[in-house]
Amino acid sequence: MKRIVIALCAVLFVSGLFAQKVASIPVTHRDRYERMEKGTGQELFTYQLSKTTAKSASSYDPEFTAVLIDSSKNGYGMVSGVTNPISHSGETFVMAYRQWIGVNASAGAIGMAYSLDGGESWTNATNVNAELPGVTEGRYPSAIGAGDYPFIAWSEYTGVGSGIENDAKPLYAMDQLGFGGGWLSSPQYIGSNATNPEGMWMGCPNYSEDASGNGFINMTFSTWREFDANQIGSRNIYLFRTTSMSEGSLTWAPAVKILDSRTYFEPGSSSGSTTSDALISIADNGIGYVANVAYWNDSYSVDNNAYHTFKFRKTSDHGATWSEESFDDDVPYYFIPDNVFDDNIFDIFIPSQIFEVVYGTDTVTVDELTGEEDTVLDVMNFPGLFIGYDNEMIVDQNGGVHIMCLVIPESEESGYIMPTVHHGCGFYHLYCADPTQEDAEWKVNFVTSMQNTWRFNYHNSTRAWQSFFPSMATSIEDPNIIYAVYPKGNIYEEDGLLYMKSYDIYVSRSSDAGVTWQEEINVTNTDDFDEITAHADPDATNDKVYLVYQVPDYSTLTVNEDETPEDYKNRVYFMAVTHPYSSVEPVVQIPAAFELKQNYPNPFNPVTKIEYDIHHAGEYRLDVYNTLGQKVTTLFSGYKESGYHHIDFDGSLLPSGIYFYSLTGNNTTRTLKSVLLK
C-alpha cells in the first residue's frame, strides 16, 4: 500500500498544500523524450505563463459575462472543493467569501453577498464577523440558500483567546428577514460552544427539505485535534445538524463524530495526513451520504480496499441517524472497492503498465532462432489507482450518488504517484444507485485530462496536481444533465514544445448522467488573466450552470508564502453560463495537439492497443516497421476526424522482437517502439 502525505498548513490552507512525492515520469513520445533527464526522469518543459500586473477590473473581459462581487485579501477562502461558496433558489442567490477590508487589515473578514435578479447585480454585507468572536479570523466560508433564509457558515480562528494552537470554531449568520431582508444576525456558534470539539476547520454544508416543507441543515467539519489536546493530524470528522428551523432561527443538535478517522484511518502526524476532509450530500427524499478519502489504519486489513479511495456512511432520514455497518465486519464504513477503479479505468483510460521508463522491471527479449538475449527493457507496472483529496459529491433525488474525483496511477516505487504519466490522468465521474450494496454497480467515465496542466509548476509551487479540483452541478429539471466545472491550463503546442497562456475556467456537460461528456468549453478564455478555484452552484438547469471563481491581482502580494495565485489579492466573480451545446448530442473533445501514445500492454503477446490524438482532421496513416526499417504492416491509411483514437495491433503472424509504429499526417510524423514477446 502506498502512502501519500498531506502536509499541514493549518492557518492558510489546511487541506490543499501537500508534501507530495511525485514519481519520475515516463516518456511516451519523441518530443518529450528529447527533453528528459535520463538520470532523474525529470521532464524539462519550456513554458510561458502570463501574469496580471496592475490590471483594472474594467479591462477584464472573459468569454461569458462575469459580475465582480468583491475582493479578497488572498485566495485561500475558496481553495477547497469541499466548501460551497454559492447557493440559490429561483432568482435569489447567496454567496460567502473572505473579504478585502484593506491591505493591512486581517485576511479573515467574512463577506456575504446576495442577488435578487439571477446574479446580474449583488448587494454585499461587509465584515460580518467583526464583532463576534472579535478576532476577524474567518476561514473557508460556505453558503446555503436554506429555504427562504440565506445562510452562511465558516470556521473562525480563536486560538488567540483559547490558548490552543490554531484552534477554530464553526460559526454561522443568516438574514432573518429572508433574501434581501437586510436583517443579518450576529455570528452564532454552530452547535454548542461549550461542548464543541476544538480545531474545527474545513466545513461542507448541505440543505434538504422533506415533503412537508421541513428543512434540515447538515454540516461536516474536519478537526486537527481533540478538545484541548494539541494533537495535530487527527482529521476526525464531526457532523452538526439542525433540530429546528423556524422564521430565521436555528437550533442545533450536539456535534457527533461521524467519521472516526483517528481510529479507522491511517494516523496523521505533525508532518501530514492521508485522510481528506469530508463531503456531505442529502437529497430531499432523506437519503444521503458522508464520504471522505483515506487509507485504512494498518490495524485493519480490509479485503479489496488497499488503496486511497472513498469511505461512506449513509442516512435515510435527513441525517438524524447514520449507518454503522460495512462490507467488512472490522470496519463500520462502506467503501468503494479497488476493483471498481481498476476494472473501469486501467487499460481503458489509463494503461496498467508503461514501457521504457527510468526504473522498473527488467524484461529480456530473446531471439527465438539463436536463443540469445536481444535487449533489456524497462517496464513499469501500476499497482493501483490513487484518488485525490479534493473531490465533489451530489446525491440525486433517487438517492443515487454522483462523484467527481481526481484519479492518477500509483507508482511501483513505494510512496510515489504518477500525475502526468498519461492522458488519462485527470477528472472522472462516478455513479452508483446505492453504494451500500456489496455487489453495487459503479459507472466510471472520463471527464477531462489534466495531464498537460499538471506538467507546469503552479507558479512557484511544484504541487500543480494538488492545486486544481473539480466542481459539479446537476439540473433541477432533468437529473440526467450534469455539469463539471474546473480550472485548467490554456495550453498550446508550438515547435514540439508545450506553452501555457493562463489558467482558465472550463465547463463540460453530460446529458446522460455522466456516461458521455460534450466538448469542454473555456468560459473565461483570457490570455492575460488567471482564473482559479472555481465552484459551481450545485443546482443548475438544463442549459445553465452558475459558478464563482477568483482572479489573482499579481500587483498586490498579500501573503509571503510560495507566491502561488492564492498569495495575492483576489477578485471574486460570479458567472452564469448558458451552455452552447445544451440542445445537441455529446461531441468528441478535440485534443490540444497531435500525439502518438505508447502502446499497452508493452511488451505484448500478441495484441496491443495504440492510442493517438488528432488535432486537425485529415489524411493519416499508421505503419509498423521492424528493426531493419522494413514496413511489416499498415494499421490504417485514410481520412481521420479530429479526436482521440485507438487501434489494436495484432502481432500473431510476426516473430518476437522490437517493432516501431509510426503515425504520419499533417506534415508531422511520430514514431514509438514496441516489443512483441511470445
Q: Which residues have a Cβ under 8 Å from the Cβ of 311 and sit 6 or more positions away?
A: 259, 264, 265, 291, 292, 293, 294, 333, 334, 335
**Which band of pLDDT confidence, cut at 50, 70 and 90, is reported for residue 370?**
low
Q: Is the pLDDT of residue 486 over 80?
A: yes
Specify the 3-state DSSP secondary structure of 634.
strand
- Specify the range with the lowest mean pLDDT, choosing from 102-116, 161-175, 461-475, 659-673: 161-175
CA distances for 579 relative to 64, 520, 583, 669, angstroms: 10, 10, 9, 36
| Largest Cα span, the chain | 89
Same domain, 389 and 372: no
* CA 639 to the chain's CA centroid: 36
Specify the 3-state DSSP secondary structure of 36.
strand
Q: Which three cell numbers stand for residue 350?
A: 489509463
| 11 within a domain of the structure (yes/no) | no
Give the pLDDT confidence score for residue 359 in this predicted structure. 40
CATH number of the domain that residue 619 is part of: 2.60.40.1930
Q: Which three cell numbers stand for residue 287?
A: 437519503
Same domain, 641 and 518: no
Same domain, 492 and 607: no
Q: Which residues have a Cβ under 8 Å from the Cβ of 640 and sit 6 or more positions away?
A: 614, 617, 618, 619, 620, 665
| 17 within a domain of the structure (yes/no) | no
| 15 within a domain of the structure (yes/no) | no
Give the pLDDT confidence score for residue 420 in this predicted structure. 87
| 46 within a domain of the structure (yes/no) | yes
Same domain, 121 and 162: yes
Query: Within 10 A of 369 (CB to CB), how many other CB atoms are there?
Result: 8
Q: Which residues have a Cβ under 8 Å from the Cβ of 426 and sit 6 or more positions away?
A: 406, 407, 446, 447, 448, 449, 450, 451
Q: Is the pLDDT of residue 45 over 70?
A: no
Same domain, 408 and 418: yes
Q: How far apart are CA 170 and CA 218, in angstroms?
A: 13
Same domain, 366 and 393: no
Query: Within 10 A of 299 (CB to CB), how many other CB atoms are there?
Result: 11
In terms of residue numbers, what domain contains 61?
30-346+382-546+558-578
Specify the 3-state DSSP secondary structure of 228.
coil
CATH number of the domain that residue 100 is part of: 2.120.10.10
Q: Is the pLDDT of residue 165 over 60?
A: no
Top pLDDT among 206 and 615 is at 206
Q: How far apart are CA 456 and CA 224, in angstroms?
A: 31
Buried b / exposed e across 340-365, counting CB within 10 Å, b at 16+?
bbbebbbeebbbbbbbbbbebeeeeb
The average pLDDT across 639-665 equals: 90
Buried b / exposed e across 29-45, counting CB within 10 Å, b at 16+?
beebeeebeeeeeebee
Same domain, 196 and 237: yes
Q: How far apart are CA 150 and CA 95, in angstroms?
A: 9
Q: Do the strands 249-252 and 256-259 form a parallel or antiparallel pair, or are they unpaired?
A: unpaired
Contact yes or no for 631/668 (Cβ under 8 A): no
Top pLDDT among 2 and 183 is at 183
Specify the 3-state DSSP secondary structure of 285.
coil
**Which band of pLDDT confidence, cut at 50, 70 and 90, is reported for residue 27?**
very low
Q: What residues form DSSP beta bridges with 94?
A: 87, 114
Q: Is the pLDDT of residue 42 over 50?
A: no
Top pLDDT among 134 and 678 is at 678
Residue 455 φ/ψ, nearest 5 degrees: -70, -25
| 197 within a domain of the structure (yes/no) | yes
Give the pLDDT confidence score for residue 628 in this predicted structure. 82
Same domain, 489 and 594: no
Specify the 3-state DSSP secondary structure of 432.
strand
Same domain, 602 and 505: no
Q: What is the pLDDT of residues 418-448, one digit of tens each?
A: 888 888 999 999 999 999 998 899 999 999 9
**Which band of pLDDT confidence, cut at 50, 70 and 90, is reported for residue 108?**
very high
Give the pLDDT confidence score for residue 271 in this predicted structure. 64
**Which band of pLDDT confidence, cut at 50, 70 and 90, is reported for residue 39?**
very low
Q: For 92-145, what is the HEC assignment?
A: EEEEEEECCCCCCCCCECEEEEEECCCCCCCEEECCCCCCCCCCCEEEEEEEEE
Q: Which three cell numbers stand for residue 35?
A: 527533453
| pLDDT, the chain, mean | 83
What is the layout of strands, in order, in the sheet containing 471-475?
A: 521-522, 497-510, 482-494, 471-475, 539-540
**Which band of pLDDT confidence, cut at 50, 70 and 90, is reported for residue 340?**
very high
Same domain, 139 and 179: yes
Give the pLDDT confidence score for residue 624 in this predicted structure. 94
| 73 within a domain of the structure (yes/no) | yes
Q: What is the pLDDT of residues 279-294, one digit of tens each?
A: 999 999 999 999 999 9
Give the pLDDT confidence score for residue 178 in this predicted structure. 81
Q: In 3D, which of 491, 354, 506 has the Cα closest to residue 424?
A: 354
**Which band of pLDDT confidence, cut at 50, 70 and 90, is reported for residue 374?**
low
- Specify the range with the lowest mean pLDDT, choosing from 205-214, 339-348, 416-425, 570-579: 416-425
| 12 within a domain of the structure (yes/no) | no
Q: What is the pLDDT of residues 612-624, one digit of tens each?
A: 988 888 889 999 9
Q: Which residues have a Cβ under 8 Å from the Cβ of 439 and sit 6 or more positions away?
A: none
Same domain, 170 and 199: yes
Q: Which residues have a Cβ under 8 Å from the Cβ of 530 and sit 6 or more positions away?
A: 51, 52, 502, 503, 551, 552, 565
The average pLDDT across 63-92 equals: 94
Q: How far apart are CA 406 and CA 390, in angstroms?
A: 8
Which residue in this structure is represented by grid cell 502518438?
596
| 508 within a domain of the structure (yes/no) | yes
Identify each DSSP E strand in 450-496 by its residue range. 471-475, 482-494
In total, how many domains does the chain have?
2
Contact yes or no for 562/461 (Cβ under 8 A): yes
Q: What is the pLDDT of residues 578-592, one digit of tens each?
A: 998 876 555 556 776
Same domain, 370 and 406: no
Residue 156 φ/ψ, nearest 5 degrees: -120, 120
**The whole model's pTM is what?**
0.83
**Which band of pLDDT confidence, cut at 50, 70 and 90, is reported for residue 384?**
very high
